[in-house]
A and B are shown apart, each in its own frame.
Chain A
Amino acid sequence: MSVNMKATKIQNLSRLKAQKALLIVAFLSVPLFLLIVFTYLPALNMIRYSFYRWDGTAPTMQWFGLKNYQILFSNPQYLKVMVNCLYYLVGSFVQLFLALVIAFVLSFKFRGSNFFKGVFFFPYLLNGVAVALMFLFFFQPEGTLNTILRFIGADNAITLWLIKPVVNNILLASISIWRYIGFNIVLFIAVIQSISSEIYEAAEVDGANRSQILWLIVLPNIRMIVGLNLILAVKGAISVFEVPFLITRGSWGTSTFVIKALNITFGANPQYGLGSAFAVVLFAAILVITSLQKLMIRED
């Protein structure tokens, strides 16, 4: 009897083992297939294309060596789009600072604090196209902004906002803040509220005022998350795409690195090689920034 039971047990165990192997293969096959075919294969192709001259449809690709990279780094038109990213970089620093202050204020529960949190967060959920159209209308000649300016008598300030160089980039970066700040606010509120309330109480007993609490207690405690968000801001700034693309399509000097890459690739005169070189440079930059981020985390 007991020998029999042992035998079934062993049988069961080997059945389970076989099943386990089957499950691992079955469960991982689809996700791995998708990962390899639609992420790794294109990523490798992208690197390969960047050494060729190719319009995307011709049966043969022409070897181009490092020329695409040379063009990328020497054509002033392409360097300009890298400079444009600085507007968004500065914008995201402003965004983080504002978000931090607002989050600090909102992290103390008071009448209406949830309402404000909701209002600030809502734009983050909006469809990018709706946001773009809203601001196209906002900056139109007879649009929202100029109407307000006329109403307050500032007729002199009225202009074609989205066409004016420099100004348009600043506006686009501001729209970015408008759209994304809510996310940082919600994130920072959550982090600030996770700081133990005893620390606050002790500080208040010691007579610290609000700004002292912010600088001396809150900031050091959330240093890590702020640092991470600064790094994310850099990553975000070099890969800015949606807001300027949807509003101006990159016209009037508002193109960014990613818009340029996609226009070069899918535009009227498709150049897959050069577009891929752009993509590879972006990828390399992201990798460098990510390793810095990893280093920072390790040090902490």
Chain B
Amino acid sequence: MIDMDSKNKHYQLKRKSIDLLKYTTLISMAVIVILPMIPVFFGSFKTNYEFYSTSVWAFPKSFLNFENYRIAFTQGNMLLGFGNTLLIMVVSITVSILIGSMTAYVLQRFKFVGRKLITSLFLFAALVPTITLNIAIFSLMAWIGRNMGIQLINTRLSAIILFSGTDIITVYIFMQFLKHIPIAIDESAIIDGAGYFRIFFSIILPLLIPAITTVVILKFVAIYNDFYIPMLYMPKSELAVISTALDNFRGPYGSQWEVICAGQMITILPILVIFISLQKYIYKGLLIGAVKE
């Protein structure tokens, strides 16, 4: 009995020291993650003089000095950037949901000549490294502009086409989800006299809403964060999106880092709010997207 007690105590002590080790490791790692963000947060509220005369760790005189944010939004084109990002995002996400679900519906529900080939075309395309493909896409778009009179370079359409395009992850997510929607639903609708188009738009598409949520999250993160496509295809300053607007701060605001800090906070805050409120869905969405690999 006594032996048991001391064994238990020993066990508890061990448990406690493991807990201590666990928390110190986790907390120090969390500090490493958060550390670089704090001076940016402080700096965004400082005046220019304050920024360059105080330590990066010093609190700003006032957390209510929004001057840098005003400059970033107006002169720094961030407001414009939000507008362009939002526009490109809404159009591309809508298009890619529509064509993604339509492709998945056809490939999952029907047997027809060429089905295998088309599926493999989508699968194989996923292997082409997209970033270097820009070399040839750019010259193609320039060629289309010169020879067919359809200007794509320096228009929002270029980014919209590239973001709504055909990525296998979207098709895959919809196909996985369609597998769980019984064909009996389609069949009973046919008996009731509905055509395939009606079945898709008024029965299948509404049932796909959970999959649509996932696609929206994946696409949102990808488009909000993408830098290279807008930089390469839309260098015109009126077409700046969030990331290119922020990147443009490097030159003109090189001696006004407090404005650059405000610019960073402006891109970070919306994501923080969205992350905190939609945490569960974001984890789920990104994991489903990862399974494909």
Contact = CB atoms under 8 A, between A and B. Distances in A.
Nearest to B195: A19
Contact of A232 (B105, B242, B293): B293
A282 interface: yes
Interface stretch (A64-72, A87-95, A127-135, A215-223): A127-135
A24 interface: yes
Nearest to B164: A34
Interface in B189-216: 190, 195-197, 200
Interface in A34-71: 34-35, 37-43, 45-46, 49, 56-57
Interface residues of A, number: 80
Contacts of A34: 99, 161, 164-166
Contacts of B287: 186-187, 190
Given A49-B135, A127-B267, A278-B132, A28 B106 contact: yes
Contacts of A106: 26
Given A126-B268, A232-B293, A242-B227, A43 B118 contact: no
B181 interface: no
Contact of A258 (B99, B132, B225, B261): B132
Interface in A120-147: 120-123, 125-130, 132-135, 137-138, 142-144, 147
B224 to A, nearest CB: 7
A137 B256 CA distance: 12
B264 A142 contact: no
A142 B135 contact: no
Contacts of A43: 128, 133, 136
A78 interface: no
B131 A42 contact: no
Interface in B86-145: 99-100, 102-103, 105-106, 110, 112, 118, 121-122, 125, 127-129, 131-140, 142
Interface string B15-54: 0001000110110011011111101100100000000000
Contact of B196 (A16, A35, A112, A245): A16
A118 interface: yes
Q: B interface, how many residues as a size bin?
A: 35 or more
A187 B290 contact: yes
A123 B33 contact: yes
26 contacts: A27-B105, A35-B121, A35-B166, A38-B166, A39-B128, A39-B166, A45-B136, A46-B132, A46-B133, A105-B25, A106-B26, A118-B275, A119-B30, A119-B34, A120-B30, A121-B283, A133-B40, A133-B264, A138-B36, A143-B56, A186-B283, A210-B18, A232-B293, A245-B228, A261-B135, A283-B132
The 7 A-B residue pairs whose C-beta atoms are closest, nearest first, are A42-B136, A279-B132, A27-B102, A46-B136, A35-B166, A45-B136, A31-B99
Interface of B: 18, 22-23, 25-26, 29-30, 32-37, 39-40, 43, 55-57, 99-100, 102-103, 105-106, 110, 112, 118, 121-122, 125, 127-129, 131-140, 142, 161-162, 164-166, 171, 190, 195-197, 200, 221, 224-225, 227-228, 232, 242-244, 246-247, 249-250, 257, 260-261, 263-264, 267-268, 271-272, 275-276, 279, 282-283, 286-287, 290, 293
Given A210-B18, A246-B227, 10 more contacts: A39-B125, A39-B128, A41-B136, A42-B140, A127-B224, A127-B227, A143-B56, A183-B290, A190-B287, A246-B247
